[in-house]
Amino acid sequence: MGLSGGGLFGGESFATVSAFRDQTNVTFPLLLRQTVSGQYADPDGSISPYPIDVIIDREGTIRYLRHEFDAAAMRSTIEQLLAE
C-alpha cells in the first residue's frame, strides 16, 4: 500500500499512514499534516514541498523545523538536546 491522494499536502488518515508504515517497515517518524500545520505551516496554511530540516527529541517531539538551512541554529538545538 502506498500513500495517495493528499500526499505532502494532507489528506492521509492516521490509519492509512500507520498501515503504510507497517507494510514498509519504516523505522523513522512519519508526520501527518495536521501534526505540524498550526505550528509550522507557512502563513497561508500550506506546508512547503521543499526540503525541511527537522530535529526530533528522544520523546518524538519536534524541537526544530525550518525551511532554510541554518547550521548555527541546528547546532544550538542539538547541543541543547544533548545537555537535557
- Please tell me the distance from the alpha carbon of residue 6 to that of residue 16, in angstroms, as a whole number: 11
The closest alpha carbon to 47, from 38, 55, 56, belongs to: 38
Output the pLDDT for position 5.
Answer: 44
Count of Cβ atoms closer than 10 Å to residue 7 Cβ: 11
Domain ranges of the chain: 1-38, 50-84
Per-residue pLDDT for 69 more than 80?
yes
For the stretch 48-63, pLDDT in tens is: 556 778 898 888 888 9
- What predicted TM-score, i.e. pTM, was given to this entire model? 0.46
Contacting residues for 40 by C-beta, under 8 A, at least 6 apart: 47, 62, 65
What nine digits make up the cell of 19? 498501515
Amino acid at 49: P
